[in-house]
């Protein structure tokens, strides 16, 4: 009986590894700077202007509406920028009609600095084309973007850790992400004490590992077009845009 229960585990010397763990181990490690940062940047841009808690509330409402509209069930929740690429034109029109006017307008105001300089961003459907012409005054938006990205380059920094925590929170709020009691991630609220306590640092490590796995799973399904475009476009708009690392 015991052998039947454990026959889907992988034996490694004297250890039995659960399917969940060895499947995660088989995923390629995503670079924070190359891939994950561009995918979560839209969240950081909103929170930088709106504040952490109000930003989460706004983005969570938007993401839930996207999930309600989308017929593609392989997307567990809308958190990374590339996830909006799965929406069809028909779904985007339905989403625009379903969003409350005040939510749509606020999203447009907060994301305009981003979309102005990255017109092929998957979130560009929120704007009419005549709203996205760049003029001299808009260079201040570019400086704003550079400052936001610079603050996130170190994935262990407070801001980068909170950004990854926000992404995981969307998974919880959507009802699509669950965690077993007793694991570090089950004490999620302790992240608010990061990096002051040992427990908060353990939770942060779990958040980084979980967000990397979740983003990797979605990108393997959707593709890596957006992160590649983000860095290529960065070199176009400013030759010294970022000192991009690995």
Kindly report, residue by residue over 196-235, the tens digit of the pLDDT.
999 999 999 999 999 999 999 899 989 999 999 999 998 8
Cβ atoms of 120 and 229 closer than 8 Å:
yes
d(CA 237, CA 158): 28
Predicted local confidence at residue 29, as pLDDT: 59
Question: What is the average per-residue pLDDT within 56-65?
Answer: 92
26 falls within a domain: no
Whether residue 41 is predicted with pLDDT greater than 60 in this model: the reply is yes
**Residue position matching structure tokens 């690429």:** 85
- Residue 116's nearest CA partner among 102, 103, 135 is 135
Number of structural domains found in the chain:
2
CA 14 to chain centre: 37
Helix 52-69 × helix 158-173 angle, to 10°: 40
43 falls within a domain: no
3 falls within a domain: no
Residues 203 and 180 in one domain: yes
Predicted local confidence at residue 22, as pLDDT: 37
Question: What is the average per-residue pLDDT within 49-65?
Answer: 93
231 falls within a domain: no
- Tell me the residue range of the domain where 124 lies: 51-138
Residues 112 and 56 in one domain: yes
Residues 161 and 126 in one domain: no
Mean pLDDT of the chain: 84
Residues 165 and 132 in one domain: no
Residues 132 and 76 in one domain: yes
Cβ atoms of 45 and 87 closer than 8 Å:
no
Cβ atoms of 174 and 64 closer than 8 Å:
yes
Residues 157 and 217 in one domain: yes
34 falls within a domain: no
Model confidence at 152, pLDDT cuts 50, 70, 90, reads very high
Other beta carbons less than 10 A from residue 177's beta carbon: 17
Residue 225 corresponds to which tokens in the numbers above?
């077009």
Whether residue 59 is predicted with pLDDT greater than 90 in this model: the reply is yes
Predicted local confidence at residue 237, as pLDDT: 83
Predicted local confidence at residue 158, as pLDDT: 96
d(CA 36, CA 26): 18
Per-residue pLDDT of 101-151, as tens digits, reads: 999 999 999 999 899 899 999 999 999 888 877 776 677 888 899 999 999
């Amino acid at each position: 009986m015991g052998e039947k229960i454990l026959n889907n585990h992988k034996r490694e010397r004297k250890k039995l590894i659960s399917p969940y763990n060895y499947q995660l181990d088989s995923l390629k490690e995503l670079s924070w700077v190359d891939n994950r940062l561009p995918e979560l940047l839209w969240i950081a841009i909103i929170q930088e202007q709106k504040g952490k808690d109000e930003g989460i509330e706004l983005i969570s409402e938007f993401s839930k509406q996207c999930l309600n509209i989308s017929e593609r069930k392989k997307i567990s929740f809308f958190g990374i920028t590339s996830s909006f690429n799965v929406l069809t034109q028909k779904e985007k029109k339905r989403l625009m009609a379903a969003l409350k006017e005040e939510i749509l307008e606020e999203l447009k105001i907060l994301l305009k600095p981003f979309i102005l300089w990255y017109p092929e961003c998957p979130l560009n459907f929120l704007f009419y084309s005549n709203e996205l012409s760049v003029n001299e005054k808009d260079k201040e938006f570019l400086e704003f973007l550079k400052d936001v990205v610079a603050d996130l380059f170190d994935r262990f920094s407070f801001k980068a850790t909170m950004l990854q925590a926000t992404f995981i929170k969307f998974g919880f709020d959507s009802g699509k992400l669950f965690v077993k009691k007793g694991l570090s991630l089950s004490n999620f609220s302790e992240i608010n004490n990061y990096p002051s306590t040992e427990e908060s640092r353990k939770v942060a490590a779990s958040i980084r590992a979980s967000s990397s796995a979740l983003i990797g799973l979605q990108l393997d399904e959707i593709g890596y077009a957006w992160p590649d475009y983000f860095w290529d476009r960065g070199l176009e708009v400013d030759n010294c845009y970022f000192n991009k690392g690995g």
